[in-house]
Amino acid sequence: MPAGWLAQVPHGARVAVTGLVLVRQRPGTAKGVIFLTLEDETGVVNVIVWRAMYETFRRAVIAGRMLRVTGKLQREGGVTHVIADVIEDLSAMLDDLLDPAFRHDICRAGDQP
């Protein structure tokens, strides 16, 4: 789901978002919680990764350049987050952009139905 559509999704809905990793934060006061910021063509998504999810998906959280996160949408105090249940590293797809046969001029996520 594009980041720009999350405002229309109800609190508590299960969503999947994909984007480039802009920020990884692990504040010392957060008791093992990791905060990720992903970006797609339509905006940014804040992701919360609880300690247990971090242990399960550690490699993707640490090294992923592009992630797909599936989880529960949470709205609190005017801020929208996705609470991660599944984290997939899609970074290998970025390497396709370097392939001379890749047609970047005909492929945009915003054009998809």
Give the CATH number for residue 87: 2.40.50.140
Residue 67: CB atoms within 10 A of its CB come to 23
Q: Per residue in 31-66, pLDDT tens?
A: 889 999 999 999 999 999 999 999 999 999 999 999
Whole-angstrom distance, CA of residue 48 vs CA of residue 61: 11
Does the structure show a pLDDT above 70 at 107? no
Whole-angstrom distance, CA of residue 50 vs CA of residue 32: 7
Which residue segment(s) compose the domain that 81 sits in? 3-101
32: tokens are 């093992």
For residues 36 and 53, the answer to whether their CB atoms sit within 8 Å is no
Least confident range from 15-24, 57-66, 79-88, 93-102: namely: 93-102
pLDDT of residue 94: 84
pTM for this model (two decimals): 0.84
Is residue 60 situated within a structural domain? yes
Is residue 28 situated within a structural domain? yes
